[in-house]
Structure 1
């Protein structure tokens, strides 16, 4: 996705599937003129412009992660950078793709803010102040030290800001979004790990200093991708307060599951109403038998083959100390692309 850095400073998913952006103008002006925000969001926007800028700086990370997870699928988390809605009409449909987008974006906000707090980029937070004194784990006692990532602070702000609109609407789609937002936030916390440094004579590790650290966002992305695969199709319960499985044989969703209401389109052809851009022109693998195969990716329409020249680094040698020298190798390869719809 090619989003101009100066044009994007923050986003919020709305219940109607909108993704709104703030540019480089003053926070008061921009927060008051962004359509679709509820009063609570405008208030938080005005009060915390630095947090909004931090979120905007991290937007590429979670969109990039979404595109990594689906790079070989018909739906590849494609975006519309010139549209006020970065995913077009995709989020208007209560599909499992929409569920994933809400979850990964909520997780991305938490991950970005947690990192920003630990790195001293925000005045409102820093390292986790509760990680003081001594504690213990399976290896024994340790002292809290270093900088523990303050994920709880990031989760609270993300929940207050992102969920504000959903809590005002309180319809079926809002409940779906709230559920998937929460699943995304919990996924980040799930992969917090204890990192320690040993102290003692000759590395005896008689004393340990430890801190809690975020995992790489790829772990969160992998986890949510698995949740997408096992997403539960649901219906509203008779009280309108929660979900029940859409079919009797389906399991009841847990708090960690992604949930959706509507079946997904096949994404084979361009369809503005469903947000599908089709697979015409997509690169496919002729010899593959997976979802990236030309048969699956091109939906039976066939594919075109073109010969292209590629340059890669080859015959790399390590030279002491400390450089690696490579040759540029040129090769002709066949590239297969799906035929457009007729």
Structure 2
């Protein structure tokens, strides 16, 4: 469109000149512009990475990318993208948010949800294995789409949806009766669109990984709905709560992230049924239900060493906590290889004071701290 716009503007300049020389200039400029546009288009096609497996790359590319230029989308996703380009903006914003949340949840673990810069798969080969990590990523990515679209609907950013207007009349909670009103977040539309868009690829395949992804996608969607909260406004004399008007609102996405992180810890190993319609729990002694649990098919690598085939980046150079006994401890993070210690100067905020009204002023203080980083893997002598 930029190229067409330039050609149009150049053509207009030539017409306005009203002379033969102006017409010649117009043709030369138009020809030069067409050559530039062709070169730009060719470079774009050559250097735009091919998206084979996922819509996650929308978050990296941004919503300005035309739907047809995202090869990773299946037909159903492409049709939804073309019909609702404004929704792609929300999905892109949602992708950035859930990736940040994933990295927050695993910041102190060997696998830290690291993304690969300029890699169309976003997470690399680690997602090829049907592991706990893949289960978590699919769940929180689906949750991120629900959250982003629901939020955009309620804020009036989308033409196709708005607030949830179905809640009418009176209801009650532990505080008593209230009237439905205000602007409830439209979680049902967010769930519906996320299901149609995110699940589209998995519904085209009938194997264990597709079933696993569909199951974990659903867990992510339901996690957002689980934490919808009731917000109310009081009406009455002198601020009394004689009458309450209430609506449902999204909770902070961190609550969804915390919830799915716990589900990651208790994820259940499964195998596909012989008829290919469902799962069987690998542990024959398991008596519960997998409905609201994350499921995985393959065990995870230990992520201690760099393993390109497994998508493991290793923990060499990762910072660890010498005094911790958790997963961020130097013993666990460094996989028994030991660690190096460096004394570094760090600038922190200190002597903070509240200033009326309404700011906090702090000073920059330098502090000397010991930073511990994991040693690299030592090659066996016989390899050297």
TM-score (norm 2): 0.81
What is the alpha-carbon root mean square deviation over aligned residues?
Answer: 1.9
Tell me the residue number matched to 1:209: 245
Aligned residues of 2:126 and 2:310 also touching (Cα < 8 A): yes
Instruction: Tell me which moved more, 203-212 or 256-265.
Output: 203-212
CA 1:301 to 1:128, structure 2 compared with 1: closer, same or farther past 3 Å? same
Say which SS state the counterpart of residue 223 (structure 2) adopts: helix
Aligned residues of 2:344 and 2:369 also touching (Cα < 8 A): yes
Give the unaligned 5+ runs of structure 2: 1-50, 379-384
- Is 1:21 matched with 2:58? yes
In the TM superposition, residue 144 of structure 1 has moved relative to its aligned partner by 1.6
Tell me the residue number matched to 1:289: 325
Instruction: Tell me which moved more, 45-54 or 249-258.
Output: 249-258
CA 1:70 to 1:160, structure 2 compared with 1: closer, same or farther past 3 Å? same
Q: 1:135 aligns with which of 171, 189, 192?
A: 171
- Is 1:81 matched with 2:117? yes
Write out per-residue CA displacement over residues 302-332 of structure 1, whole angstroms, 9 at most, x where no aligned residue: 1111111011121222344444332221111
Q: 1:273 aligns with which of 300, 309, 321?
A: 309
CA 1:136 to 1:278, structure 2 compared with 1: closer, same or farther past 3 Å? same
What are the residue-to-residue correspondences of 1:178-217 with 2, within 5 Å?
178-217=214-253
In the TM superposition, residue 25 of structure 1 has moved relative to its aligned partner by 7.9
Give the structure with higher Rg (CA): 2
Tell me the residue number matched to 2:137: 101
Larger helix percent? 2
What are the residue-to-residue correspondences of 1:1-342 with 2, within 5 Å?
16=53, 19-21=56-58, 23=61, 30-342=66-378
Tell me the residue number matched to 2:7: none
CA 1:251 to 1:83, structure 2 compared with 1: closer, same or farther past 3 Å? farther
Write out per-residue CA displacement over residues 186-222 of structure 1, whole angstroms, 9 at most, x where no aligned residue: 0000000111111111233111100001100000000
In the TM superposition, residue 339 of structure 1 has moved relative to its aligned partner by 0.9
Tell which has more relative contact order, 1 or 2 (C-alpha 8 A, sep 6+): 1
Figure out how many residues of one structure are paired with residues of the other and give that number. Answer: 328
Instruction: Tell me which moved more, 36-45 or 272-281.
Output: 36-45
Give the unaligned 5+ runs of structure 1: 1-12
TM-score (norm 1): 0.91
CA 1:340 to 1:324, structure 2 compared with 1: closer, same or farther past 3 Å? same
Say which SS state the counterpart of residue 58 (structure 2) adopts: coil
Aligned residues of 1:198 and 1:204 also touching (Cα < 8 A): yes
